[in-house]
Chains A and B, each alone.
Chain A
Amino acid sequence: MCLGSPYCRRVEGNYAEALDLLPGVVSRLHAAGKRAYVATPAVPREADLPHVIRLVDAAASAGADALEIHNMGVLRILREKGGPVPAHMGAYANVYTHLAAGVMRDSGAVRVRPNAEVSLEEMAILAREPGVEVEVFVHGKIPLGVTDRCFLLTESEESDPKCPSACGEVHWLTSRQWVLKTVGKGVLSGRDMCLLEHLPRLVADGFRVFRVEGLYESAAYRSEIGAAYREALARAFAGGSFALEDRWVDAARRHAPRGLCNGYCFGTAGRTYVGTVLQDPNPEV
């Protein structure tokens, strides 16, 4: 489980900001047999670097299993501290090539999440880079962009009464046939990435790390989508025939009010869907 939000330090209950909460939550996850990763800010300006340094120290003290890193400066800070915690390069780290993955590995990264635009075919090449594993994003809203000015506020963060609650609400951006989701300092896809029916291929290609993105989603989303993928992956790893269970399909569709997509994985526009089971018969966005 990845704790904290990389988008904004002011997000309510942000484990990446309320560092005193880390020991307790990491312990609970470990006691449940889970691994605990902690997100670092995706857009750390100079003034944020002292907090980043404290975050690295706190995550290490708490026994976190990795830090999710989006910014090369944060990777360098971790390395200069002697790499007390492994690094997982996150969605905004712009990992496109195996050479970049290698540079990040040499700075302490043990895992990379390729940029959303990287196809499965390209990821397979990345995965051959020694010493670094590839995390495949299999379900959830696609991170499309990040900024350090909150779109949902009309005043400064310190004075706007809508902060910090605004990004916890659901806000879409719609235009023509496009739908995006704004979370204030992040822009996400309107549709949910879904690789459910492609899991056998991912397993056959050798991928072993799969990400369900639950940030800014409901507890029910995380629980039901997570359960669907846990079952589906077990089925895919078991080998033999693989057919989607109705309950998985129902969960995926129910929690994607704007539809499903996976086009990036197949070298096409991110909002398209490639597949035979979960394609939307009447795609409108």
Chain B
Amino acid sequence: MAELLASGGSMEMVQAAFDNGADAVYVGATGWSRRRVEFEMDDAAIVEAQRCARSAGKILRVAFNTLPASSEVPLFMARTDALYAAGVRDFILTDPGLMMALKNRHPDTILHASVGCTIINIQDAIFYKEAGASQVVAECRMGKATMRRIKAEAGVGLEVLVHATTCYTLLGRCTMSSYTKHGHKVDASGKDHFPGSPNRGGLCYRICLTDWDQVGATGEIEASGVELPNRAYFLADDIPYLIDHGVDTIKIQGREYSVPLVGRMVRFYRELIDACVRDRAGFRMDPWRERMAGIVADRDAERREKTTGLISESLG
């Protein structure tokens, strides 16, 4: 049975996700995850979230999925040591070197290879398994044939994002944001939050979503107001397929959204998955579409507002 994993951008969101049926929630360690600091947690909050998960019989995963500087590796080891001592065992990582280091230091940790690893084929999946991951997150456009192959042959768990964004370029392989604006913000622990770099610090200015003109060699406008496609998607039709093919985790991304919206998303997927499992032969998607449309509309409104703010911030 697939695990339903939801985002935890705050303690309130963690609770809402569990209350609405998530089997697991992921949170980001301050300065170390692919979201800005407002949507991350310090160690005290992580430990509280862990207690919340345990009391519900569920799982908390902690994301350390940014790509730090080499000089910050000791900070990583110290921080994960502290969380390990507090009982955290599940981590989400991107850097294969950090994965191996953590796995070697604490062999009973459960490591997942983040969407930032840009896993697009079976050999990628096995590479990260060999680096210490027991589960890998599929790149957002991974085809079903590749998912089937990974499940059948790779010997590693597979996690699929059903609510996320397909970046203009491959997620995890883009530095457009930091090309325009890139700073440094070192916190009390010594960790640089690298504002402007989603790979290094989580804050992406989404400049792909501003208006672009395509211009030719001699300066002529070839096309005005072109879109660099970066779309938030909300998969529902594929849920039966994912369940049928044994996908291990169905993931809802969204730490940056409002708590009520994330709660609605979790409740929607919980009920959809349960209905599909309960009566697979009789399951039909049509009754779910109207409810899904309402969630998508509200999600799009929140995303537009955030994107406008981020682009303005990049110009400052």
Contact = CB atoms under 8 A, between A and B. Distances in A.
Interface string B191-206: 0001011011000000
Interface string B143-167: 1011001000000000000000000
Contact of B69 (A71, A72, A74, A97): A97
A97 B70 contact: yes
A206 interface: no
A247 interface: no
Contacts of B176: 144-145, 180, 187
Nearest to B200: A117
A49 B179 contact: no
Given A94-B173, A101-B97, A187-B176, A125 B120 contact: no
Contacts of B126: 73, 76
B96 interface: yes
B170 A116 contact: no
Interface in A83-135: 92, 94, 96-104, 107, 115-118, 122, 125-126
A177 B311 CA distance: 12
Interface in B72-117: 73, 94-98, 100-101, 117
A175 B212 contact: yes
Interface stretch (A10-18, A21-29, A30-38, A263-271): A263-271
Contact of B175 (A48, A107, A145, A176): A145
A42 B118 CA distance: 11
Given A98-B70, A170-B216, A263 B182 contact: yes
B127 A73 contact: yes
A100 B184 CA distance: 22
A136 to B, nearest CB: 15
A73 B168 contact: no
Given A45-B143, A117-B182, A142-B179, A122 B70 contact: yes
A97 B67 CA distance: 8
Contact of B67 (A115, A151, A176): A115
Contacts, number: 193
A72 B124 contact: yes
A269 B180 contact: yes
Given A44-B120, A71-B124, A125 B174 contact: no
Contacts of A72: 96, 117, 123-124, 127-128
Interface residues of A, number: 61
Given A94-B199, A171-B215, A122 B71 contact: yes
B275 interface: no
B181 interface: yes
Given A45-B120, A99-B73, A117-B178, A172 B95 contact: no
Contacts of B101: 99
A237 interface: no
8 contacts: A48-B121, A103-B97, A147-B170, A174-B215, A176-B210, A180-B179, A182-B214, A268-B183
Given A73-B125, A97-B98, 19 more contacts: A46-B120, A49-B123, A73-B127, A94-B118, A99-B70, A100-B96, A115-B199, A125-B69, A125-B71, A142-B179, A145-B176, A148-B141, A172-B214, A175-B210, A178-B180, A180-B179, A263-B182, A267-B184, A269-B196
Return the 6 tightest CB-CB contacts between A and B, nearest first. A99-B97, A145-B169, A73-B123, A270-B179, A170-B217, A96-B67
